[in-house]
Structure 1
Amino acid sequence: MSTTRPIADHMRSGTFRADRHADKVTLPPAALIEPDWDDLLPGDSDESAKARSDAAALWARTAPVLMISAGLTDAQREALSMFCVAVASYWSVTRELSRTGNLLRGRTGELVKNPLHTVRTMYVNEVTTLRKELGLSPAAAARITRPSADDEDYADAAAGSADVLRLVSDL
């Protein structure tokens, strides 16, 4: 089963062919709008606040780069939102696992594996899948070339976003 590469990836790698790729849908460039983390990750505990700040920090690091390098638009932000929530949840479960330990006492007093291992594995699988989808895996990153500042497509995609331009120029 083959996966379809984004047109922007073909253009970056020099394999774009109009006869094969011209019929694809191209979403107009639009700045990504950060989700409301209080709505996605509700709660009053310190752990909930930490998860919200982790997700927001990950969004701040990842969204500008994906907007420029992969052409991610607001129409596709749900995948990035899910990625940020999954990573923040993974970190939260990992912290709780560290506090409670790898083994717990069962009902009869025997040592059993902490059930949080299963939850953490679920988040690892979700994060891995979303990293591949967003092009954030090491293999995908090796194929991405950073656009030059004088590239017209790069300038058009980043138009109106001084913060994004500042972040990308610092890379």
Structure 2
Amino acid sequence: MGTVRPIHEHIRSGTYRDDRHGDKIVLPPADLVEPKWTDLLPGSSAEAKRTRKDAAELWSRTAPVLSLAAGLTDAQRETLAMFCVSVANYWAVTREISRTGNLLKGRTGELVKNPLHTVRTMYVNEITALRKELGLSPATAARITRPATSSGGDSDDIWD
């Protein structure tokens, strides 16, 4: 037997069926509540403020789309918040690499790779995984369809 897909994946991909999935837990729709960015990204420096602004802007662009297209609810907002924080931090690290350079002088004066490249790679891996989880990668987004309903009405019928 294959792996069991979560119910929200069936809803997002359009394969939801009452006879198969009716007894599963389905999260009711609830508006996504934006996190308090000062709690997640504390600091008073100009870079910290810019990182909070970047995360908030990404949330404002992404949350409404995911709420409508993928049925993301407030119970799942942590994944989206992690995505926004990771992308904002990725941009901050990239800006710092741009300021300090790709190569730095080591202890003995030789040129070494900027250690921030390792940090940036960690963010890239985290962002890639979260994009797939949220259905934001191009391949995943191409598979998302609005669920079909038997009543021919709006897709919100599955919440009734």
Question: What range describes the TM-score normalised by the shorter chain of this pair?
Answer: 0.7 to 0.9
1:96-135 equivalences under 5 Å are: 96-135=96-135
Secondary structure of the equivalent of 1:65? helix
Secondary structure of the equivalent of 2:104? strand
Q: Percent identity?
A: 71
Number of aligned positions between the proteins: 156
Give CA-to-partner distance per residue, 1:2-30, whole Å, 9 cap, x none: 66545455356553333432232101110
Residues 151 and 40 (structure 1 numbering): CA distance in 2 closer, same or farther, change over 3 Å? farther
- 8 Å CA contact 2:14–2:147 kept in 1: the answer is no
Residue 15 (structure 2) aligns with = 15
- 8 Å CA contact 2:146–2:155 kept in 1: the answer is no
Opposite residue 118 of structure 1, the aligned amino acid is T
Work out the CA distance in 1 between the residues paired with 2:114 and 2:12: 46
1:1-171 equivalences under 5 Å are: 4-11=4-11, 13-145=13-145, 151-154=153-156
Higher relative contact order (CA 8 A, sep 6+): 2
Decide which moves more: 92-101 or 20-29: 20-29
Q: How far apart are 1:145 and its partner, in Å?
A: 2.9
Work out the CA distance in 1 between the residues paired with 2:45 and 2:60: 23
In structure 1, list runs of 5 or more residues that go unmatched. Answer: 158-171
In structure 2, list runs of 5 or more residues that go unmatched. Answer: none
Give CA-to-partner distance per residue, 1:49-80, whole Å, 9 cap, x none: 11001000000010011111111111110000
- 8 Å CA contact 1:147–1:154 kept in 2: the answer is no
- 8 Å CA contact 2:55–2:88 kept in 1: the answer is yes
- 8 Å CA contact 2:12–2:71 kept in 1: the answer is no
Aligned CA RMSD, in angstroms, stands at 2.6
Opposite residue 124 of structure 1, the aligned amino acid is V
TM-score (norm 2): 0.86
- 8 Å CA contact 1:69–1:147 kept in 2: the answer is no
